[in-house]
Structure 1
Amino acid sequence: MVISILAGGLGNQLFQYAFGFSLARQLHTELQLERHLLESRMLAKLRKYTPRQYELDVFAISQKAASTYDVLRTLSQTLLPGHQAILLCETDLDSQEVLLNQTKDVLCLGYWQSENYFKSETEALRKQLVFQKHPSHATLAVANAILAHSNATFVHIRRGDYVTNTNANQHHGLCGKEYYQQAIDYLRERVSDAHFFVFSDDMEWVERELRDLFRPATFVDHNSGADSWQDMYLMSLCRHAIVANSSFSWWGAWLNPVADRVVVAPSQWFANQPQQIIPQQWHSL
């Protein structure tokens, strides 16, 4: 079996699921999802990251949760000779590809933030990654407005723990006003009559600092907490996109399958390291 260890919010969980799903199909085995580390408040406090919860249940997927026994059994087998199982870390993927052909028990630890990890299974993934929860009336009203605009474009401004959490700020950094100005200019050169649907976890700051950039615009601020997935749902309906350095809006853009669309993303995804996270067909600034 393949066990994918989940960590982070909905966007990161989607990357970890997509990689595990692709690997399980490659190895002709089942996928299980490990949720204990994700939901551990003690671990979140020790590692100084934002506590999360399992969110993949908003999609039409039915993956078995890995039991503590399965995780410990697979982990113990990684220590035995004969490659009965392997612990697959993102940084070790290249060196362990040969071993993958010799086992069907794999424990996956990493964020796997690249389409390249699951591109071969895109069609199968899209059939699964369909929102199954019912949106609120407020969200449905915005959805109708998006569908009424042929060039509806979402803009995502991620702040939240990127501002309040020192570790997150040092790791991710922030997309500033210059990025959004350049992204808007780039998009307007290629898209006529764009209507912007603006999403953020700090709308007060956005309306104060960026409001003049987005005209005409609809500011969507009614979803938070357990309802945040509805913002991703709305993003996925928009024809064009300006994403933040956030896996949440990455997936909001990716989930829309339209080929001839404009997606703009920041080239500097992380503050302190290069990362090939932007799909080739997107434009990076």
Structure 2
Amino acid sequence: MKRKAVIFGAGEWGKAAYYYYREDIEIACYIDNDKSIWGTQHNGIPVRPPEILRNREYTVIIANKRYETEIKKQLFHDYNIRGVIVFRIEEKMQELCPEDNYQVKKDEIIIAFSNGLGNQMFQYALYRNFLKQGKKVKADLSAYIKPDMMPFELPKVFPQISFEYCNPNEKEYYLKEGRVYVEEPPRGKEKETFNRGLLEMKTGYIEGFHCSYKYAGLIRRELLDDFRFSIKNNSELCKIKSLLELKETVAVHIRRGDFLAAKYQREIGGLCTDEYYLKAIAYIKGKCPNAFFCFFSNDMDWVKDNIEEKNALYIEKHMFTTYHDWYDMYLMSICRHNIIPNSTFGWWGAWLNQNPDKIVIGPKRWRNRWEAGDWCPPEWIAI
């Protein structure tokens, strides 16, 4: 007779755990703390609240990496459960190094790059700060080995930028020596991401996103030069540019798509709602009666259905023979004003806007766990 078990976690890991255990264990149900998915099903198995554990005996399989510690405490204190199975998937990236006799240089700073273009630009801002100080800096791109990682686009979008890339042996040396700085998100009284002491670092490995206007502000002139878009050979972009220059344009960036994925909801869900955008648009109209709204989104059908503006232009892929994401950032940067979501991509579109009288509106909270802190310059308006 098979043992009865429940899988705590109805996300991707929970689904993987089902296929792993289904031949040997009878899976009674998934359980999850997310009320919105109670009553749904995965693989024909219902998703139920943790309360079903009260006064019932099940083997509990935890299949949730992010909240594993919290779930263990919950099971112990709320349901008197003393033992669980922890299901984990191990994925190890392996960098290949053809130079067996490579001599590690011990006076360098290595900065880890990861995620999409907006995050890469923040990481580059830190990289550029160290370069300006005359320090030896290298980039670690090992995160881009992962198949689900967005591509490393900086040198393609901004070919004037050059990098020196680290050797895997150098990274390994700093990790073993413990010369590592891992950025922690701001919590409690600590409201800022910016760490001035980090800029005094002389050697070591740095990991994080560094999303603070202060890192960028220290080298604004250099970054404006490095982050120059090349559009002279793109007639379609030039045509839209000419149109926008004639109007009191307001870039409105609405990020949905990937931001709606279940794995991101606890972190960023419910922050930039339609109410947020309507308030921001109303504020702009109060300041700029002739405002012409230029919408950018990865879910333009939703934008057209939920935010009606007659005096507007919707930037869509079909407007270009060959479309690239950075087209949106460039066009945002040449609008006179900006409304942005909790997205580093939209942040850079607004930051690169060189209109001295620009109005930039962003959300008060960039993550559900903390407020915007020092993500945005103080002159930007938080709603």
TM-score normalised according to structure 2 size:
0.63
Of the three residues 251, 271, 274, the one matched with 1:154 is: 251
Partners of 1:35 and 1:134 lie apart in 2 by: 30
Matches within 5 A, 1:75-114: 75-76=175-176, 78-79=177-178, 86-91=179-184, 101=200, 104-114=202-212
Task: Tell me how many residue pairs correspond in the alignment.
Answer: 263
Q: Which amino acid counterpart does residue 123 of structure 1 have in structure 2?
A: R
Matches within 5 A, 1:55-134: 55-57=153-155, 58-59=157-158, 60-76=160-176, 78-79=177-178, 86-91=179-184, 101=200, 104-132=202-230
Residue of structure 1 equivalent to 2:110: 3
Residue of structure 1 equivalent to 2:239: 141
Distance 1:170-1:99 versus aligned 2 partners, 3 A rule: closer
Q: Which amino acid counterpart does residue 209 of structure 1 have in structure 2?
A: N
More helix by share: 1
Partners of 1:281 and 1:184 lie apart in 2 by: 18
1:39–1:52 contact (8 Å) kept in structure 2: no
Of the three residues 18, 30, 37, the one matched with 2:125 is: 18
**Secondary structure of 1:4's match?**
strand
Consecutive unaligned residues of structure 1, counting only runs of 5 or more, are: 45-50, 80-85
Of the three residues 268, 273, 282, the one matched with 1:172 is: 268
Partners of 1:260 and 1:73 lie apart in 2 by: 48
Q: CA deviation at 1:22?
A: 1.3
**Secondary structure of 1:118's match?**
helix
**Secondary structure of 2:354's match?**
coil
**Secondary structure of 1:269's match?**
strand
TM-score normalised according to structure 1 size:
0.84
Q: CA deviation at 1:138?
A: 2.8
Q: CA deviation at 1:239?
A: 0.9
Residue of structure 2 equivalent to 1:188: 285
**Secondary structure of 1:253's match?**
helix
RMSD: 2.5
Partners of 2:295 and 2:196 lie apart in 1 by: 41
Q: CA deviation at 1:98?
A: 5.8
Partners of 2:252 and 2:173 lie apart in 1 by: 44
1:20–1:108 contact (8 Å) kept in structure 2: no
Residue of structure 2 equivalent to 1:83: none
> 1:219 aligned to 2:332?
no
**Secondary structure of 2:361's match?**
strand
> 1:283 aligned to 2:381?
yes
Residue of structure 2 equivalent to 1:259: 356
Q: CA deviation at 1:201?
A: 0.1
2:254–2:341 contact (8 Å) kept in structure 1: yes
Q: Which has the larger radius of gyration?
A: 2
Identity level (%): 30
Q: CA deviation at 1:136?
A: 3.9
Distance 1:104-1:189 versus aligned 2 partners, 3 A rule: same
Of the three residues 138, 144, 150, the one matched with 1:52 is: 150
Distance 1:208-1:29 versus aligned 2 partners, 3 A rule: same
Partners of 1:194 and 1:40 lie apart in 2 by: 43
Consecutive unaligned residues of structure 2, counting only runs of 5 or more, are: 1-107, 186-191
Partners of 1:133 and 1:38 lie apart in 2 by: 27
Partners of 2:347 and 2:267 lie apart in 1 by: 17
Q: CA deviation at 1:259?
A: 2.0
Distance 1:132-1:140 versus aligned 2 partners, 3 A rule: closer
Q: CA deviation at 1:238?
A: 0.6
Q: Which amino acid counterpart does residue 189 of structure 1 have in structure 2?
A: G
